[in-house]
Amino acid sequence: MLRYLIRRLGHALLLVWGVSTLLFILLQAAPGEFFSDMKLNPQISAETIAGLRTQYGLDQPLPARYFRWMGSVAKGELGYSFAYNLPVSTLLGPRLANTLLLTVPALVISWLIAVPMGTLAAYRKGSWIDRAFSAGTSTFLALPDLLIALLILMFALRTGIFPVGGMSSGNQDQGWWRSVLDTAWHMVLPVTALVAGSLPMLLRHTRASLVEVLDSSFMRAAHGHGLSRTSLLFKYALPAAANPLISLFGLSVAGLLSVSLLVEAIVGWPGIGPMLIEAILGRDLFVVIATVVFSTVFLIIGNLLADILLYAFDPRIRVQ
């Protein structure tokens, strides 16, 4: 097990290094930079712009800039933001925490709904429950994530039940418990949008995996021995269908994160989504790199958790 984890972590580190290096080269090769717009301002002299470019090392050749950035990464700074003149890690830390505050509950809720509902639809294959299930998931799969987020935002605007955007009401005098409840109330709509965007795919994959297992010969034999429905489904069928679902878990983390960036920008949630859009528009180079790299890290963590679960549940992988 330890050798397996060390090998997977080694692959993950190589992937992060490759993604960050490629992204650094591509963004450096792109035309324009953060200080290009300053040249249009007659109140800013050319000497001031040249001094700023020297301060951030933009006047150096590409290899020198790369090693300077790698040195900043080694110190935990992840480079400096041109817009804020602060280490990127200082800016990114609170934003990452806010993004996880949405994605983790959405991930848990999605799987808690998908597994029992997908199992029920598979067991009732061909019934009106299964047909309604298929129609509902097909409808939601056809809806773009942007449209789902906009519909939920419209619901908040029309009803006034939920806050339209942001993370808190801005009342600094409330106690910590009321602050927690206020944040949770602001989370309801964005988490609902994330669940609605990811749930149809999880439901369909769960149903497909369970249908394949329920049609197998060993499940028909177990049914012939008079086992109860609950025991048949959750004690035998679900563990047998766990492999593809566990593999899907790693991919669902990445999909949920990508949808989260869009939802955050629409509802004004202060996560890494609005920060990434602002950095791209402002050509804040190192903020863009750090945000994309951390998105890659989330994908790697999800896949690593899936690999560990597969290693624990499937003895064939342990033999390999």
CATH of the domain at 298: 1.10.3720.10
Q: How confident is the model at residue 171 (pLDDT cuts 50, 70, 90)?
A: low
Residues 146, 260, single domain; the answer is yes
Do both 26 and 148 map to the same domain? Answer: no
pLDDT of the residue at 135: 81
Query: Does any domain span residue 79?
Result: no
Q: Rounded to a whole number, what is the distance in angstroms from the first to the last CA of the chain?
A: 11
Against a cut of 0.95, is the pTM above it?
Answer: no
- Asked whether residue 195 falls in the same domain as residue 122, the answer is yes
Do 63 and 121 share a domain, yes or no? no
Range 258-262 average pLDDT: 80
**Domain boundary, last residue among 74, 105, 132:** 74
- The residue written with tokens 């609902």 in the block is 192
Rounded to whole angstroms, how far apart are CA atoms 312 and 62? 45
Tell me the C-alpha distance between 104 and 191, whole Å.
9
The residue from 13, 43, 74 where one domain ends is 74
Are both 99 and 234 inside the same structural domain?
yes
CA-angle at 82, arms to 78 and 88, nearest 5°: 25
Do 146 and 194 belong to one domain? yes
Q: How confident is the model at residue 317 (pLDDT cuts 50, 70, 90)?
A: low
Q: What mean pLDDT do residues 212-223 have?
A: 73
**Scanning the structure block, which residue is given the tokens 């992204």?**
23
Quote the crossing angle between the two packed helices 242-267 and 176-214, to the nearest 10°. Answer: 140
Instruction: Assess contact for 140 and 133: CB atoms under 8 A.
Output: no
Three-state DSSP at 62 gives helix
- 18 with 126, same domain: the answer is no
Q: Is the pLDDT of residue 120 over 60?
A: yes
Residues 99, 68 share a domain: no
Q: Determine, yes or no, domain membership for 90.
A: no
Query: Does residue 52 fall inside a structural domain?
Result: yes
| Owner of token pair 């991919």 | 251
Query: 63: domain range?
Result: 2-74
Amino acid identity at 54: T
- Give me the pLDDT at residue 300, please: 82
The answer on 202 and 245 residing in a single domain is yes
In a domain, 84, yes or no: no
Q: Is residue 86 domain-resident?
A: no
pLDDT above 60: residue 308: yes
Lowest mean pLDDT among 137-141, 231-235, 242-246: 231-235
**Residue that finishes a domain, picked among 74, 106, 131:** 74
- Tell me what pLDDT residue 72 has: 84
Compute the mean pLDDT over every residue in the chain, rounded to the nearest whole number: 79
Residue 87 lies in a domain: no
pLDDT tops 70 at residue 155: yes
What is the domain count for the chain? 2
Gap between the Cα atoms of 196 and 96, Å rounded = 22
Structure confidence by residue, pLDDT tens digits, 15-54: 888 888 888 888 777 777 777 777 767 777 777 778 877 8
Is residue 319 over pLDDT 60? no
89 occurs within a structural domain: no
pLDDT at 170: 65
What is the C-alpha separation between 191 and 124, in angstroms, rounded?
A: 29
In this structure, are 59 and 122 located in the same domain? no
d(CA 303, CA 299): 6
Number of neighbours of residue 299 by Cβ within 10 angstroms: 20
Whether 162 and 42 map to the same domain: the answer is no
Structural domain includes residue 81: no
Instruction: Enter the DSSP assignment of 270.
Output: -
Task: Choose the most confident range, by mean pLDDT, from 68-77, 137-146, 237-246.
Answer: 68-77
